Amino acid sequence: MGQFAISMPQLGESIAEATLLRLKVKPGEKVEMDQEVAEVETSKAVMSVTTSYGGVWKEWKATEGKSYAVGAVLGFVEVAGRKEEVSPKQNGTHEKKRHKKAGVKRVTSEESGGNGNGHRVTPTIQGLPVPARAAGASYLSPRMKARIEELGLHAADLAGLAPSGAKGRVTIEDFERFMADLEKQKLTPASSMRVAVADAMRRSWLRPLATVGRTAGMDALLAHRKKHPSKPGPTLYAVRALGIALAENSLPAGRLVGSRIVHPGSIDIAFAVEAEDGVLVPVLRKVNETTLDQLTALYAERMRQAKERKIPAEALGGSVAVVTNYGTFGLDWATPIPLPEQSLVLGLGAGKKVPEWDERTQSFCPRTLAPLTLSFDHRVIDGGAAGRLLARVAELLENPEKL
């Protein structure tokens, strides 16, 4: 009878760790090959861990509520008639050999902090775009940097810290006093999604971002939606309009890397879905090549998956822009921030019926108008190009039969 390890799988190209939510089998229970044995949560979704072997579940090495690095052993399954791959006495040797082949470094509980709160789990996949917990203040002494890094903090977390040193410098005493005062206040742990959103926004804000805005008439769109059997929402109309506009000129969706602009190979557009303590952005692929009718069912499915936090891997990452409908909150105007790997985010505000002057009839006529905003990386395009792109989106929204 052989004993085989089940490890934390690679759950995405930028995922270095995950929190164990639920253990779904108990020691002594029979398990089948590919059976779901645990549920884990990453910064993007809730995913499943399955066993590669059928047999009897031996034991768990992992605990619910704790974070584990990719490649960390979660538990063992016993398989009859198979040569033992990893035995309890051989765990260290065999795991290291197997992880070395896979490009994974084994992390002990001491190395990861031992408390399972996720703040000190070491990323184990080399060469991946895993966000580094780096400080970003204008000046930090080496001692201060070491202390901040030790606690898993960012310089941005210390924005409220009053300096007492020469020339406004924050001293280590200022920092320790600030941390001691924090401990006296009510503290709640931030979810993995909240931490991921915060990290993404910090990295996004390293770029010069700007926003342009205008209004778009929505009466034709609302009439078109009323006749459509699937009743697509305004967000999907905006996704399709942006996809067509970017297919005509992909430069605004490019990314500046060094002295070159990288154009997108496919017009894949994400849309923002509010989730508990954060935002998820499922992706619709090749929006410019997919009709509004074809997108409607897929959009509804992605929306359902996002609400359940079970977005499939093929619908995560790789998008060139995001559409967010902040009008659902009754907001007229907002300046959303593009994700770090994107240059654009299109925002849709609340539509309102307003009087508009009609030159033809020389009178005011009621018209439903909605604000549109386009936030963009100013290194890639300027206000003129952003304005033209937004005008094209508005034109398509006002002529929904072209979508």
What pLDDT, on the 0 to 100 scale, is given for residue 100? 36
Q: CA-to-CA distance for 178 and 158, rounded, in angstroms?
A: 9
* Cβ-Cβ contacts under 8 Å for 13 (sequence gap 6 or more): 128, 129, 317
What pLDDT, on the 0 to 100 scale, is given for residue 172? 80
SS3 402: helix
CB 119 within 8 A of CB 134: no
What pLDDT, on the 0 to 100 scale, is given for residue 83? 59
What pLDDT, on the 0 to 100 scale, is given for residue 154? 76
What pLDDT, on the 0 to 100 scale, is given for residue 135? 34
Antiparallel, parallel or unpaired: β 273-275 and 278-280: antiparallel
Chain centroid offset of residue 311 CA: 11
Is 80 exposed, middle or buried, given 0-12, 13-18 or 19+ CB atoms closer than 10 A?
exposed
What pLDDT, on the 0 to 100 scale, is given for residue 402? 92
* Cβ-Cβ contacts under 8 Å for 146 (sequence gap 6 or more): none
What pLDDT, on the 0 to 100 scale, is given for residue 164? 72
CB 185 within 8 A of CB 178: no
SS3 253: helix
State pTM to two decimals: 0.63
What pLDDT, on the 0 to 100 scale, is given for residue 191? 81
127: its two tokens: 């060469």
Domains and CATH numbers, the chain: 2-102 (2.40.50.100), 131-206 (no CATH), 208-402 (3.30.559.10)
Is 351 exposed, middle or buried, given 0-12, 13-18 or 19+ CB atoms closer than 10 A?
buried
Q: What angle do CA 162, 163, 164 make, to 5 degrees?
A: 125
| Chain segment 181-228, per-residue pLDDT in tens | 888 888 888 888 788 888 888 888 889 999 999 999 999 999 999 999
What is the full per-residue pLDDT of the chain (403 aa) written as tens digits? 678 889 988 876 567 788 898 999 999 999 998 899 999 988 667 888 998 888 999 999 999 988 888 888 999 999 876 655 444 433 433 433 333 333 333 333 333 334 344 444 444 333 333 333 333 334 567 777 788 888 878 777 777 777 776 666 777 888 888 888 888 888 888 888 788 888 888 888 889 999 999 999 999 999 999 999 889 999 999 999 999 999 999 889 888 888 888 888 899 999 999 887 778 899 999 999 999 999 999 999 999 998 888 889 889 888 999 999 999 999 999 999 998 888 999 999 999 999 988 888 899 999 999 999 999 999 999 999 999 999 999 999 999 999 8
CB 362 within 8 A of CB 332: no
| Chain segment 222-278, per-residue pLDDT in tens | 999 999 988 999 999 999 999 999 999 988 988 888 888 888 889 999 999 988 777
What pLDDT, on the 0 to 100 scale, is given for residue 384? 94
Element (H, E) at 380: none
CB 395 within 8 A of CB 218: no
296: its two tokens: 């409607």
CB 67 within 8 A of CB 117: yes
What pLDDT, on the 0 to 100 scale, is given for residue 82? 61
